[in-house]
A and B are shown apart, each in its own frame.
Chain A
Amino acid sequence: NAGVMQNPRHLVRRRGQEARLRCSPMKGHSHVYWYRQLPEEGLKFMVYLQKENIIDESGMPKERFSAEFPKEGPSILRIQQVVRGDSAAYFCASSPRAGLDYEQYFGPGTRLTVT
């Protein structure tokens, strides 16, 4: 029973490039959450998606960041024109539903380094 998969595990980008982070939820899970962990800090919520819908993007920076979760395939977190401040670990979590008893299962994270 595979857990939440994220790739790549490590990603290095130069300033101004684009970063694409992928998240494959656990089998049977249709809800995905993205969190960002800056160095020496806790995880901060970015966005919550269901298949083909963004439910809550209150934690997403207004510019350069976007997320999608298509009907087929993984969820993608996209960062355009990366800057040094985007260097962080990005975690994806999934749950089967969005009800009260459905906790989130976390992936191993993608560590983005912007040089």
Chain B
Amino acid sequence: AQTVTQSQPEMSVQEAETVTLSCTYDTSESDYYLFWYKQPPSRQMILVIRQEAYKQQNATENRFSVNFQKAAKSFSLKISDSQLGDAAMYFCAYRRATSGTYKYIFGTGTRLKVLA
């Protein structure tokens, strides 16, 4: 069975600095998708970035980028120029790419605090 592990329950970053959130996963599949979701206090799940496993190039979205290491099964999120609005829970998620079920498997989350 696939698992997703986020080993940092909480992280802090100074405003305008850079922070990296870690995520590792375990799967025997060769094709899959990985996601980072942001959950602010409103609890709304907001997609931050996604990565297809077959793509070697790391995904980027403005200040957010990932470091995808397929062999190591690692998928970290880097937030540059951190802003107060980035403070939230961040969840890493995995989804198989084969047909059948498309359920997401989430990690336990990392709470990010941004210090002014």
| Chains A and B belong together in one complex | yes
B50-92 vs A: 1/0 string, CB under 8 Å?
A: 1000000000000000000000000000000000000000010
Q: Which chain B positions have C-beta within 8 A of A106?
A: 37, 44-45
Give chain B residues whose Cβ lies under 8 Å from the Cβ of A31.
Answer: 102
Interface SS of A by simple majority: strand
Given contacts A43-B91, A106-B44, A108-B44, contact A48 B102 (CB under 8 A): yes
**Contact partners of B104 in chain A: CB under 8 A:** 33, 35, 43, 45, 93, 104
B91, B101, B105, B108: which contacts A55 (Cβ < 8 A)? B101
| A33 and B44 in contact, given A41-B108, A42-B109, A43-B91 (Cβ under 8 angstroms) | no
Q: Does B97 contact A (CB under 8 A)?
A: yes
Smallest CB gap from A108: residue in B: B44
Contact B101–A89 (Cβ < 8 Å)? no
Q: How far is the CA of A111 from the CA of B103 in the complex (A)?
A: 21
Q: Is the CB of B103 within 8 A of A48?
A: yes
Residue among A35, A42, A48, A109 facing the most chain B CB atoms (10 A cut-off): A42
CA gap between A55 and B102 in the complex, in Å? 10
Q: Are A33 and B107 in contact (CB under 8 A)?
A: no
Encoded as 1 (CB less than 8 Å from any B CB) or 0, chain A from 55 to 70 comes to 1101100000000000
Any chain B CB within 8 A of the CB of A12?
no
Task: State whether A56 touches B91 (Cβ < 8 A).
Answer: no
Question: Is B45 touching A33 in the complex (CB atoms < 8 A)?
Answer: no
B106, CB-defined interface residue at 8 Å: yes
Identify the closest chain B residue to A106 (Cβ). B45
Q: List 19 A-B contacts (CB under 8 A).
A: A33-B104, A35-B104, A42-B6, A42-B107, A43-B106, A45-B105, A59-B103, A89-B43, A91-B45, A98-B102, A100-B97, A102-B102, A103-B35, A103-B47, A104-B102, A108-B42, A108-B43, A109-B44, A109-B45
The 7 closest A-B pairs by CB, nearest first: A42-B106, A106-B45, A45-B103, A56-B101, A43-B106, A42-B108, A109-B43
